[in-house]
C-alpha cells in the first residue's frame, strides 16, 4: 500500500489569508498546506480516503483520482467534512453510493448539515452515501480492509483515528487514553497531528506528538495538520528525530 498526503494543514490552510508571516510567503512548496486529508491506495486498486475537507475537489483533480471506495471520517469539523457534496462525481462515475464511516457524534453532525444526501429524494445528481456508524472498539471492514478504530479526544469531542495493517492515521487529537494506545502496538507508519511548537488547548503540539511517537515506536512517523506557526519546513525539519518527518501536500510513502 501507499499513503498519499492530499492536505497537511489546519482549518485555515497555509498560506493563511492576509497573513504577512514568512511561512505564508514562502516559495518552498512544502510550506503550502491544503486542509488535512490523505489517500490510502493498494496495489489491487483499492482507494480509501481519510477525511473529506473543503479542498477535496482540488485534491482529487490534482492527484487524478478516478475512483474512491470508502471514506473514513475522523470527526465532523468543517475542515474535515466540507467536501462531502462533491462525492456526487464519484457517484456518477461508479454508479453507486459512497461508503462513509464515522462515530455517532460525526454522524449526527453530518446528517444534520448534509441532510439532503440521506433524505429520500427524486432529484438526480444529488450526492448519495451509505452511512456506517462505528459504535464500539471492534474492527470493521471497509473496502475489503480490516480497520481498527482508535478513540481519541479533540478537547471535549470524541474523534476517531484508524489503523489499517501497519499504518495508523490520527489527526486533531489532544488526548489518547492508554487502552487506545495499546491498539498502536506494532505500527510501522504513524501519522499524527502536530499543530505548532507551543501548547494548544485542543490539538497536540509538537512535543506532545513526539511523546506519542516515542511511546508507539513506529519505524516512521509523519506529522500532519500543521499551522503556519510550525515554522518553515526546512527549519522545523532540522530539529526532528531522524525517523520523524513533516508531511507536505503530495508526499507519498510506502506502507
Judge contact between 117 and 127, C-beta under 8 A: yes
Q: Which residue has the cell 474512491?
A: 68
Q: What's the alpha-carbon Rg for the chain, to the nearest Å? A: 17
φ, ψ dihedrals at 238, nearest 5°:
-65, -20
- CA angle, residues 169, 152, 4, in degrees to nearest 5: 15
How does pLDDT run along the chain (255 residues), one tens digit per residue? 999 999 999 999 999 999 999 999 999 999 999 999 999 999 889 999 999 999 999 999 999 999 999 999 999 999 999 999 999 999 999 999 999 999 999 999 999 999 999 998 878 899 999 999 999 899 999 999 999 999 999 999 999 999 999 999 999 999 999 999 999 999 999 999 999 999 999 999 999 999 999 999 999 999 999 999 999 999 999 999 999 999 999 999 999
Domains (range + CATH), the chain: 2-248 (3.60.15.10)
Amino acid at each position: 500500500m501507499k499513503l498519499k498526503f492530499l492536505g497537511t494543514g489546519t482549518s485555515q490552510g497555509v498560506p493563511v489569508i492576509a497573513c504577512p508571516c514568512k511561512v505564508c510567503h514562502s516559495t518552498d512548496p512544502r510550506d503550502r498546506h491544503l486542509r488535512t486529508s490523505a489517500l490510502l491506495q493498494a496495489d489491487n486498486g483499492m482507494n480509501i480516503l481519510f477525511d473529506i475537507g473543503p479542498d477535496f475537489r482540488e485534491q482529487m483533480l490534482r492527484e487524478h483520482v478516478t475512483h474512491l471506495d470508502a471514506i473514513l471520517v475522523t470527526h465532523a469539523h468543517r475542515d474535515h467534512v466540507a467536501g462531502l457534496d462533491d462525492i456526487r462525481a464519484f457517484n456518477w462515475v461508479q454508479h453507486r453510493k459512497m461508503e462513509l464511516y464515522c462515530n455517532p457524534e460525526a454522524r449526527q453532525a453530518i446528517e444534520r448539515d448534509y441532510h439532503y444526501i440521506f433524505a429520500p429524494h427524486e432529484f438526480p445528481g444529488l450526492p448519495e452515501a451509505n452511512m456506517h456508524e462505528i459504535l464500539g472498539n471492534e474492527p470493521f471492514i471497509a473496502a475489503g480492509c480490516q480497520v481498527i478504530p482508535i478513540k481519541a479526544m479533540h478537547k471535549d469531542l470524541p474523534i476517531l483515528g484508524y489503523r489499517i495493517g501497519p499504518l495508523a492515521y490520527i489527526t486533531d487529537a489532544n488526548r489518547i487514553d492508554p487502552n487506545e494506545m495499546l491498539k498502536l502496538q506494532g505500527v510501522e507508519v504513524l501519522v499524527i497531528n502536530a499543530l505548532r511548537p507551543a501548547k494548544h488547548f485542543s490539538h497536540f503540539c509538537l512535543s506532545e506528538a513526539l511523546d506519542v511517537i516515542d511511546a508507539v515506536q513506529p519505524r516512521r512517523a509523519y506529522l500532519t495538520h500543521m499551522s503556519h506557526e510550525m515554522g518553515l519546513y526546512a527549519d522545523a525539519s532540522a530539529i526532528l528525530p531522524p525517523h520523524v518527518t513533516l508531511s507536505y501536500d503530495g508526499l507519498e510513502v510506502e506502507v
